[in-house]
Every structure is written in structure tokens, then in C-alpha cells.
Chains A and B, each alone.
Chain A
């Protein structure tokens, strides 16, 4: 049974999740966050440029099994930065100004620092969602690249692990942003739709690939890591089902 929680989250390591319009990967983020929060001392900082906090709260309850994002936010162990809201506070500010990125960076580092004052035992996870929207709005790539690298250094310093979701729009071609991520990533979870088109039984498939930044000797023996043998999944209202290729309910 495929278990997302077995993907190790080490400080300073990046887990990259890529998805497409036909197969959005929000559920992967939710799953990883939920499994991270199983440790009561864990800290999570989430920054989303495409969805607001109410959406995250309501969707996290699908996979809760006792862990509710809303309660953790109020307890302080989860910090949510609503970037969508912050970006457009004043209409005169152009969102593609580099100041927007630097203010986001400050907010993130402030959020991570605040957590480190508390229990030092918990692991930290920084989740970034929807950064591609900056690129689509016209932010120059150089600023974004610098932002990512600075964020990387910050995470290593504060011993947070990084989880970034990137939207692929180019039909399989890699854009600049993705190339940068791929250089830095320790793990790459690729969520793809079925190549044969839409299906009712299978929502898509997930590949777990090792990235170049993964240090082999440090990684625990990952028996459960699949390389390119993809696991297919089906998203339901009530939850998520993973199954091996050829074993979905429609076929068996």
C-alpha cells in the first residue's frame, strides 16, 4: 500500500510535487502535511498563492483522521500565510514587483523563526503552493530563482524541510522554473493524468522519483520507494485510494 508518509522529510531537502490541470495534486500536499502533523511537536508553515485559508481548512478535514488543520492553526503549530490575499492588499502595488517576493520571504522567515522559539524537537515543514502564478503574472525569472535559492538556504538554517507544488503547463516540456526545482529536489512526486485520457475509475497516477540532491548514504533504506513504476490513484469525495496499475476496481 503506497504510503506518502514514508517519503523522508529531512531539513534542507526539497520534495517537489508537480501536477497538471487534468490531475491536480492538492491531495498529495494534504496527505504529506497530515502525516507530518502526526508528531504533536511538528511545525508547518504554509504559504499559498492560489487558495485561501478557508479552502485549506475544509479540504484538510477529508484526510483528517483526528488531525484538523483548523485546530492546529489556532494552536499555533501551523502557520498559514494567505499570499493570495496579501498580494493584492492595495491595488496600486504591482504584484510583480520584486518587493512582493521579498515581503513574502520576510514573512516566511518570521513564521519559521517564531516556531523555533517553541519546542526545538519538532520537525518543520514549509509548504509553498502556487508559486507558478508569480511567473504567469510576469515576475522576472531571475527574482524567482533568487527567491527559491534564498528560501532553500533559510530552510537549511532553520532545519525545515521544503515541499513545493509546481504546476506544469507546457505539455511535458520543462520550463525554467521546473529546471531549477529539479536541480534542487531530493524527491520528485510527479502526478500525471492517464495518458489515454480521462477515466472514471482512475484519476491519475503518481510517480516517485529521486532527485539529484538526495544524498544516498543518508537516506534510510527506502523499500517502499517506487521509482518509475507509477501508482495510480482515485480521488473520491470521501478520500483517496491508491492501487497498482491494473488492479483498480474497474478492472478486477
Chain B
């Protein structure tokens, strides 16, 4: 008899009573979450979008549209989980057609999903392994983000791949079954009131009917809310719409909404310095994705990220303190510190980046003096800026050449001078030509020796 027991996810007793694609919060059993499609964003929000609340995404940078990308993730996740997805946009069909989808199942799909996180930046293995002090050798590798759940059976959050488009068959079957509905905003006379009453009808028909049709989650997706197709924006109309939406979502607790504002409405302007404050009061979760593409100085500060995340508000529906304060690993306010006895822990700064395959929200740490970009235990890879293109973003050509290294011009008078910067190494002096541009030797983290350490027994 094999003593080897296979570890499967134990199906919790609550699973059957949940709607599909939802999860009950561990700290408060009244609260249910549904996934946004981005596991790191789910973590920031405390587990996902809380059902019965809305998420407002702000996108202050006019040159990027990361908030729309998050909307697409939400649509894809809704389609994958079988939720009812209602998209309110003038170009809704095109938007849905350009959504991402999961990678086709491969035989190696059982392997750890952490592999995908490494594929974009492969640390060079085999070369110069860094010697780690023995007491730190057992520590976990420094992580900057959370990865999605490893279990295949868990359909809470799918691993979407930006390079795959949603297959037309899925769209067609969802449209036919009534799970995917589009609403055109452009033609309406007073779009705010009309859309609000449409939403009310949608929710009433979904949940006021006898329970055979109800019980599923309804996602309301409003990309570029209050954008050009919604007519002339006014702060009063926006706020009354958001409050109306809130009252509807509270009434039908299995629904949720994700909205995003265009860039001209995403920041406090001169005329209304408290605009973002007001938005945060009337929405449940309010997150601003401040991309660095328009600001070169910020782009230099964030060499491997595309922008900063500013959390303006987190949902406090049915709680006094946002749930993500305790449960979020990315934000870094750990459970032990939230007890009364300890002093608290500060929050991590958060940034996001969009790689070729996915959108990731990560913790952001300032540079260590000396030019190493992130705290690592493996040698820094040379990340070429050109590889990090996303669909929506043009990377600024900040750095010349492939390597993120300084161009050093050396003028030699007589003897070649050994120039390697690594400590206590006996590399042969490198010949340099007069005036030649020379690339700095790649910085190595940690202390290295070529000759055997005298303490090695």
C-alpha cells in the first residue's frame, strides 16, 4: 500500500452553496468575492471584487489604458466562470472580441505556474552562482507578487494569457445563452439615467425572478464610463450615477460592477481639488493606475514597471476595516501586526507592469544604492527594454543599447589598467583601446571569489 497521499484541494463544504466562481472570505463569512482575473489585483482588493460592491479604476495618464486592460480581464474571467457579463460601451463588441483568454491546455500545464513568471526574465543559470551566506540559504526567494493558485480544480481565477485572444466560439455561445449582453451607450439621449434604468432592469430580471434563473453572479462592466460616448460629463451626474449604482448593487448582493474613468476625469483638477476624494466616498473600491509613460522622470524611477498603483479606497461594505488590510500579502500589513499588541507595519508601495503575457501588480521597492534594480538573490538579469511591449503601450527608448549599463569612455595613456569592479578577483587585465566605448562589467550581487575560500573545509 502506498503511503504516498495525493494532495488534492479539499472541497470546502461551502463550495456547493456558493455561486460558481466565487469564494467566501475567510475572516467574515458574510462576504463573498469574485475574481478580477488578475490574481495580484485580487490580493490587493482582499480576495477579489466583493459581491455587492463596485470597483472604480482611475487612469490619469492619457497615453495608456491599463484600466481598460483590467476591464478586459474582468470580462474574460466572467466568461470563463459562467457569470452573466453585461458590457456598457459604444464599442462593446470589439472590446469583448479583443479580450484575452487562457492558454490552451498543454501536457505541462500541471507544472508549477511559477514557471510563467520566470519565462519573461530568465536568470542566467549555471554561470557564477552567487554564494549566499549559510544562514540565509534556506530563506524563500524574495517575492514581489503573488501567483495564481496552483490547483487546476480551482476555477476561481484563470491564468489568462495576453497573447491568446478569446475564441469566437466562447463569445458566440455566451451571447446565445444570454450570459453576455452588450449595451450601446452612444445613441442615448440622457445616457446616465438611461443606463441606470437599464442596469436596474438587468438586475431585477436576473434576481427578482424565481430562483431557477437567479443564483449566478452578474458582472456589470462599464469601460470608459463618463467618456466621450456618455455625453457631456458633469461631476454631479457622475456622482449621482455612482450612488444609484451603489444602491442597486446593495439591493442585489450577487452583483458587482467594474467601472473606469477616462484620464481627464481621473485626477483632481484645478476647479475641483477634491474630485478624487468624492469619487472614493461614493464608490466602494477606488484604485488609480498611474502609468509612467507620460512622465519620463517617473519612468526612470521605475525601470521595470509601467506605473504605480495608488489605492484610494478599499471596500468596507459590512466591515469597518477593509478586509484586505489583513489578508493582502502584497500590501504587507500582516495579520500579526493587526493585533493590538504589536506596533503596526507600514504598507508596501505597489506598482504594475504589463509583460507580453500578463499584467502583474507587484510590490515596489526603491533602488539599492549602487544601481541594482531590485532586491534579488540571483544575479541581476539584463532586462532589455525592448522586450516589454504590451498591446497598449509603447515603451520609451530610455536606455541606449541592450544592457542597462553606463557607457564609459576610457582613455589610456600607457599601460592597460585592470578595470574589473568586482572585489578581490584576479581577472586578467582587460585591454582597452583608446577612446573605445566599453561596457561596464555586469554588477554582481554578493561576494564572490575565484580561488577557494580558505574557510571551506
Q: Which residues does A use to contact B, with CB under 8 Å? A: 20-21, 24, 26-27, 30, 49-52, 54-55, 58-59, 62, 84-85, 87-88, 91-92, 95-96, 132-133, 136-138, 167, 169-171, 198-202, 234-238, 241, 248-251
Q: Is B196 an interface residue (CB 8 A)?
A: yes
B277 touches A21 (CB 8 A): yes
User: Are B200 and A58 interface neighbours, CB within 8 A?
Assistant: no
Q: Number of B interface residues at 8 Å Cβ cutoff, please give it.
A: 46
Dominant secondary structure of chain A at its interface with chain B: loop
CB contacts (< 8 Å) of B246 on chain A: these are 50, 84
- Distance between A164 CB and nearest chain B CB, rounded to angstroms: 15
Q: Mark B232-249, 1 if CB is under 8 A from A, else 0.
A: 001110011001101110
Interface residues of B in 312-345 (CB under 8 A from A): 312-313, 316-321, 326, 333, 337-345
B126 adjacent to chain A (CB < 8 Å): no
The answer to whether residues A133 and B343 also contact, given A21-B313, A59-B319 and a CB cut-off of 8 A, is no
For A202, what are the chain B residues with a Cβ–Cβ distance below 8 Å? 344
Which residues of chain B (182-239) have a CB below 8 Å from chain A? 193, 196-197, 200, 234-236, 239
Give which listed residue, A58, A137, A171, A198, contacts B236 with CB less than 8 A: A137
| 13 more CB-based (< 8 A) A-B contacts, given A59-B319, A237-B326 | A24-B316, A50-B243, A55-B250, A84-B246, A84-B250, A85-B251, A95-B244, A133-B239, A133-B243, A133-B281, A137-B239, A236-B321, A237-B338
User: Which residues on B sit within 8 Å (CB–CB) of A200?
Assistant: 333, 337, 343-347
| B27 interface contact, C-beta 8 A | yes
- Assembled-state Cα–Cα distance A169/B272 (Å): 10
Inter-chain contact B343/A249, CB cutoff 8 Å: yes
Report Cα–Cα, A174/B345, bound state, in Å: 33
CA of A201 to CA of B243, assembled, Å: 32
Contact A201 B344 (CB under 8 A): yes
A62 to chain B, nearest CB (A): 6
A24 / chain B contacts, CB cutoff of 8 Å: 316
Distance in Å: Cβ of B220 to nearest Cβ of chain A: 16
A137 touching B321, Cβ below 8 Å:
no
B392 located at the interface, meaning its Cβ lies under 8 Å from any Cβ of chain A in the complex: no
Interfacial chain A residues near B291, Cβ < 8 Å: none
Question: Are A88 and B320 in contact (CB-based, < 8 A)?
Answer: no
Which single member of A21, A58, A136 contacts B319 (CB below 8 Å)? A58
Contact of B247 with A91 in the complex, beta carbons under 8 Å: no
Task: Enumerate chain B residues within 8 angstroms of A198, measured Cβ to Cβ.
Answer: 346-347
A136 B278 Cβ-Cβ under 8 A: yes
Selected A-B contacts with CB under 8 Å, 14 pairs: A21-B277, A21-B280, A50-B243, A84-B247, A84-B250, A88-B196, A91-B197, A95-B240, A133-B281, A136-B281, A137-B240, A198-B347, A235-B320, A237-B326
Q: Tell me whether B282 is interfacial, beta carbon within 8 Å.
A: yes
- Check A170/B274 contact, CB under 8 A, given A84-B247, A87-B243: yes
In the assembled complex, how far is the CB of residue B144 from the closest CB belonging to chain A, in whole angstroms?
20
How many whole Å from A20's CB to the nearest CB in chain B? 8
CA distance in complex: A249, B343 (Å): 5
Minimum CB–CB distance from B241 to chain A (whole Å) comes to 10
Chain A residue numbers with a CB within 8 Å of B12 are none
| B243 and A237 contacting across the interface, CB-CB below 8 Å | no
- CB closest residue in chain A, given B234: A138
Contact of B318 with A58 in the complex, beta carbons under 8 Å? yes
A201 proximity list for chain B (CB < 8 A): 343-344
The distance from the CB of B321 to the nearest CB of chain A, in whole angstroms, is: 5
By the criterion CB–CB under 8 Å, are A249 and B340 in contact?
yes
